[in-house]
Amino acid sequence: MIAFLSLFLHVLISPFKTQARLEAEIVLLRHQLNVLRRRIPSRPKLGAPDRLLLVWLYRLFPSVLSAVTIVQPETIIRWHRMGFRLYWRWKSRSRGGRPKVPLEIRRLIREMSLANRWWGAPRIHGELLKLGIDVAQSTVAKYMAKSGRGRSQTWKTFLHNHTAGIAAMDFLVVPTIGFKLLFVLVILRHQRRRLISLTVTTNPTAEWIARQITEAFPWNEAPDYLIRDRDGAYGHAVIRRLAAMGIRDHPTAPRSPWQNGHAERLIGSIRRECLDHIVVLGEGHLRRILTAYAVYYNGIRTHLVVAKDSPNRRSVHRFGQVVTRPILGGLHHEYCRM
């Protein structure tokens, strides 16, 4: 640095020297440089200030390339172009943009995707919204664990109007460990996809079904329409009970399960998310399993059709540490803040 300052001082006083004196100093300096090159034939090491000085002189006086001897003229030109690129890279640097996703949120997304194999990006995104973590769904898909799952299935609803007054019911058949068949009557309200009833029996008679309908729908909350299939268990007792409660009975066409799509999808969710992973020991065991799943389904599980909320309107928590609670032996998890 001292040598550089000394050179800069000589440059400042050079205009006050005579032309003959300057030429003599130049000849002397060149001769000394030639002597040094003969004694030290190796390539000299130039620091950043040396390169900056050479590039600066070349910028001001391009003809000085003819006086350069310690490096090739092409080297100085390359240094100049490199400095030009670095300068404009610095001028065009990013001064803003989208903030990075914090590491703890990325880890939480990965843990959710690993702990819940049947959850896709929309379900995980809904859970994060309930935790007060506002990230895009595409960000969730980006940081999910790659487990080789296909794209989550989508279902088109065929009933778009009057969902508040429509309910549906269907039967779910569950085998036990002793190969005994149990029948589960599933009753669902189309509004917010709320699960009304999951009742178990070994002999689904029409009188039993009529009694379950009465218990599921109080007189002041009865729907206007009830969709069902043409199962033989729905006898005259069921039809009379629906008429007495002011509910219009709408059986689907034969062999047309898609006409009761909401109930069919709910039964599929119960199988995929619960019963396919548990061996049912008996009727009491099945009731306990379905009770726990109904609480999870209505109060915790997020749904796309209700804007990624739960049927019972799950509140948003924004403060506190994120904790997890296993549900159904770890098949699903509840995420909340404490």
Whether residue 269 has pLDDT greater than 60: yes
Annotation: CATH topology of 163-299: Nucleotidyltransferase; domain 5 (3.30.420)
Instruction: Please tell me the predicted confidence (pLDDT) of residue 150.
Output: 46
pLDDT in tens, 184-204: 999 999 988 999 999 999 999
CB neighbours (10 Å) of residue 263? 23
* pLDDT (mean) for 205-226: 92
Neighbours of 123 (CB within 10 A): 20
Nearest to 195 by CA among 172, 167, 228, 215: 167
Tokens of 101: 């996703």
For 126-142, how does the pLDDT look when each residue is reduced to its tens digit (9 = 90+)?
999 999 999 999 999 99
Backbone φ and ψ for 312, nearest 5 degrees, come out as -95, 20
> What does the pLDDT read at residue 305?
84
Q: How far is CA 300 from CA 15, 103, 278, 303, in A?
A: 84, 25, 20, 10
The amino acid sitting at 206 is A
φ, ψ (nearest 5 deg) of residue 333: -140, 145
Return the higher-pLDDT residue of 100 and 156.
Answer: 100
pLDDT of residue 66: 62
Stated as kind and residue range, the H or E segment containing 251 is strand 248-251
CA–CA gap between residue 140 and residue 163 (Å, rounded) = 31
Cα–Cα distance, 324 to 172 (Å, whole number): 30
Say what the pLDDT of residue 156 is. Answer: 45
Helix axes 121-130, 103-115, angle to 10 degrees: 130
312 Cβ contact list (under 8 Å, min separation 6) = 194, 298, 299
Is 50 exceeded by the pLDDT of residue 338?
Answer: yes
Mean predicted lDDT score pLDDT of the chain: 83
- Least confident span in 3-17, 67-81, 129-143, 216-230: 3-17
First vs last Cα of the chain: how many Å apart? 60
* pTM of the model as a whole: 0.59
Is residue 304 scored above 70 in pLDDT? yes
In terms of Cα–Cα distance, which of 125, 146, 126 is closest to 137?
A: 125
Q: What is the pLDDT of residues 7-53, one digit of tens each?
A: 556 666 666 556 666 666 666 566 556 666 656 656 666 677 777 76
Extents of the domains making up the chain: 2-91, 103-149+331-337, 163-299
